[in-house]
Structure formats: C-alpha cells, structure tokens
Amino acid sequence: MASSHKTPRRKVGTRRIMADGTIKVIVRHGYTVEGKRRTLWAIAKDDDEADRIALELAARLGMDPNLGKGLTLERWWLAYRATRGQRIAKVTLERYATEMRGTWLPALGSKDITLISHADIQAVVIQAATRSMAKERIKALSAVLTHAVREGRLSENPCRNAPFELPGDVGKADLSGIDYESDPFAAIESVKNVWDIQTVLLAMQRLRCLPLETCWLCMVGAGLRREEALALRWRDVRRVEVAGRMVTQLAVHGANTAKDGMGTTKTKKSVRIVAMVEPFGARLWELAGDRDALVCDVSPKNCSRRWANMWKPVNLESKHMPHDPATHVSRGVMLEEPAIPFIHLKQMRATHATMMQAAGVSDSLNAALHGHSERVAYSNYLMPDSTEAAERMGQLIVMEGGLKAANG
C-alpha cells in the first residue's frame, strides 16, 4: 500500500535572507567556459515572489544555453576587434575603441554580456556630458553587441530593447549665457545645430572662391557626408535637363577620410545619385574642372581646421597672413557683420535634411536621399526621385530667401 505521507516539493534554487529582510534567490544550471556553474540571481520581497522568480530564472537558464556562460564584455570586445573590427573603417573602429576603453569597459567590462540589461546601459548613458556624447556611447556598444547576436553569443541586443533617456531629457535647461530678453526667437535660433535658409544664403556669399566652397555646396545642396563630398571627382558631377529644367546631379560612390584615405561609402545604401538644390547646383557647375580632379582638394585632415578658421579673428601680425592684399583671406570671414553663428561643417548635411523636411519631403525619401543606414521604407524608394525633391526645396529657398525679389 502506497504511503499517504507526502514530502514537501524541493524548491528551485537557493535562498538567502538579506539584512533588510528581502530574499536573494540564486539559481544555478550548467557550466561556464571556465568550468564554473552558470548562475543567475534576483531579489524577492517574500517567499511567494521568491518561488516565482526562481522558476523564471531557471527557465531563462534552460531556454538560453549561452546565458551566463562567462563571456565578459571585455573578452568579447577583444574578439570583436580581431574579427569584425578588421572589416570596418579604421576611423569607425577607433571611435568605438575610444568609447569602449573610456566608458564601457570600466563600467561593465567584467560583466557577462548575456547579463547586461537595458537598465545597466541606461545608468552609464545618462552620465554623459552631452546628448551627442551619449549617442556615441550607445552607438559603439550597440555595434559590439549586435555582432554578438549575429555570432550566436547573445539572444538579443539590449541597446535595442527600448529608447534611452539622454542628458537633457529631464530637469531644467541651462539658460546661462543666452539672452531671451531682447529677442527670444533669435536667442533660440542661435543655439540650434542647423542654419536657416537666410543664413545658408549669406554663408554662400561668404564662401565664394574659398577652398571649402565646393565641399560645402555638395553637403548643403545635396546632403552629402563630408567624406563623400571630399571623394567626388568632377567626372562624378553632371548637368542634365530634366522635365525642361537643368539639374546638377552627383554620383556618390566613395568616401575620403583622414584615417582610411580614399575608400568606399559608409553602407551599400550610401551609393546613390543625388540631384542638387538650386542655386547650389548651378554654382558647383560653374566651378567644374578637370574630369579626373577632385571636386574639393582640401585634405580631410585639414578640413575642420580650415572651417573653424573662418570664425577666428584676423591677426595682421601673423606670419601666415598673405603678403598680397588682393589674396582672399578666409580667416574671420564669417565674423563680418552680420555675423554667422558657428556650427560644425558636418551639420551642413543636417541643415540640408531640415530644409528638405520644411519643403515637405517625406521622412522616408529624405532618409533615402541622404543614404542613411537605418531601416526606412526603402522598398518604396529604390530609385528615389531626388530631382523632384530638390526642386521643391529650391522653391522653398526662393520664397524664404527672397531670391524672387532680388531677381525682379
């Protein structure tokens, strides 16, 4: 006869009562690459919650054989550099390395990559000094963890689970140094990272015949990345008639950077034909030179310095000043009245995108024209009508910039 005595079912995992009365639930299953037990733990408020958490942890360990195997972020980063890192641009790898060494390895380097959570990443991201720095942090870690997913070492990338809160998303804005009393609209515009149409047209006059003019025209007039503009040859520029109007088109298929020199574009989607907005297209065509020559012969190493010099005051005592008074000096040209607010040259691409948006160009088409690598509705824009989009933006510039009135 079977015994009616029933022994209590053995609980999953082990429990440890903490000093504050909570329960630490520990579940072990399988072994790591170093021969240690794979372990997950969590904190519960009471016995019932401890039972539930223990079952969840056991299920996670059983369903995902890679979970908790002891592959730390530091070890995976070394593997990434030796494999995937050798197949990306040097400048990109160096940017990732800076973020990994300076931010992620000190914070999470010893943690198993399968145990890194969205909350862990958020805690590091929010400490960045600026939003742009925070985005660079996320971009670097996401690239490294995405490779782990592709290699089967990680089930999902925690960087993509949900949006992150960035510096400045909460709390009061820093209003120091900004004058909102005399002209609040102008004060707000002055801290934007893009130029409006009036500023773009004024800058076009100031840049005339300067070394960076052609590069700038391609960026603000066609939305090219700086490295794409610096890789263009005059054979990649053509002036054609489309629907009864002349259009300047650019064949974008290369990139020129300080680290890698002349190479390919950032992604396959970056290879594209783009129509330039007027009056930038007409001006670029005026400057056309030898077919094999670069559209802009400024070195990528000197580009940022040359751009910044246009906002530095002229020093007549400097030995670098030209002896010939007729020589056009670019230094300080943007400080002439009315002064043009400084933004980085790379923001010309964002300025173009903003003006396209203002002209009513859809976000998906706008992204396709700029060769973005993000997933957008490219299926609808396999051959995006950049000519029509450029025409719409050109009409906006005519209306906003007052070109119609100037031409009578």
The CATH code of the domain that includes 123 is 1.10.150.130
Q: Evaluate whether residue 304 is within a structural domain.
A: yes
CA atoms within 13 A on the CB side of 82: 6
Residue 386's pLDDT is 53
Q: Domain of 114?
A: 73-160
Asked if residue 343 and residue 205 are part of one domain, the reply reads yes
Q: What confidence category does residue 406 fall into, taking pLDDT thresholds of 50, 70 and 90?
A: very low
Tell me: the pLDDT tens digits for 27-74?
Answer: 876 655 555 676 778 888 888 888 888 777 777 666 455 555 568 899
Asked if residue 146 and residue 253 are part of one domain, the reply reads no
Preceding peptide of 279 cis, ω within 30°: yes
Asked if residue 346 and residue 292 are part of one domain, the reply reads yes
Asked if residue 229 and residue 361 are part of one domain, the reply reads yes
pTM for this prediction: 0.56
Asked if residue 400 and residue 271 are part of one domain, the reply reads yes
Residue 372's pLDDT is 47
Asked if residue 47 and residue 110 are part of one domain, the reply reads no
Q: Is the pLDDT of residue 316 over 80?
A: no
Tell me: the pLDDT tens digits for 334-371?
Answer: 998 999 989 889 888 888 877 766 656 544 444 555 55
Q: Is the pLDDT of residue 81 over 70?
A: yes
Asked if residue 304 and residue 371 are part of one domain, the reply reads yes
Residue 35's pLDDT is 57
Q: What confidence category does residue 214 fall into, taking pLDDT thresholds of 50, 70 and 90?
A: very high
Asked if residue 46 and residue 131 are part of one domain, the reply reads no
Preceding peptide of 167 cis, ω within 30°: no
Q: Is the pLDDT of residue 380 over 50?
A: no
Distance CA 352, CA 129 (A): 27
Asked if residue 377 and residue 268 are part of one domain, the reply reads yes
Average pLDDT over residues 276-296: 93
Residue 408's pLDDT is 46
Domain boundary among 125, 160, 195: 160
Top mean pLDDT of 17-21, 264-268, 367-371 is at 17-21
Domain boundary among 24, 45, 63: 63
Tell me: the pLDDT tens digits for 119-135?
Answer: 899 999 999 988 889 99
Asked if residue 105 and residue 150 are part of one domain, the reply reads yes
Buried b (16+ CB within 10 A) or exposed e, 318-356: eeeeeeeeeeeebbebbbeeeebeebebebbbbbbbbbb
Q: Evaluate whether residue 177 is within a structural domain.
A: no
Domain boundary among 110, 128, 160: 160
Cβ atoms of residues 252 and 274 within 8 Å: yes
- Mean pLDDT over each residue of the chain, to the nearest integer: 78
- More confident site: 341 or 389: 341
Asked if residue 356 and residue 262 are part of one domain, the reply reads yes
Asked if residue 400 and residue 275 are part of one domain, the reply reads yes
- Residues 369, 373, 378: CA angle, nearest 5 degrees: 55
Residue 127's pLDDT is 92
Q: Evaluate whether residue 3 is within a structural domain.
A: no
Cβ atoms of residues 200 and 340 within 8 Å: no
Q: Evaluate whether residue 116 is within a structural domain.
A: yes
Q: How many domains does the chain have?
A: 3
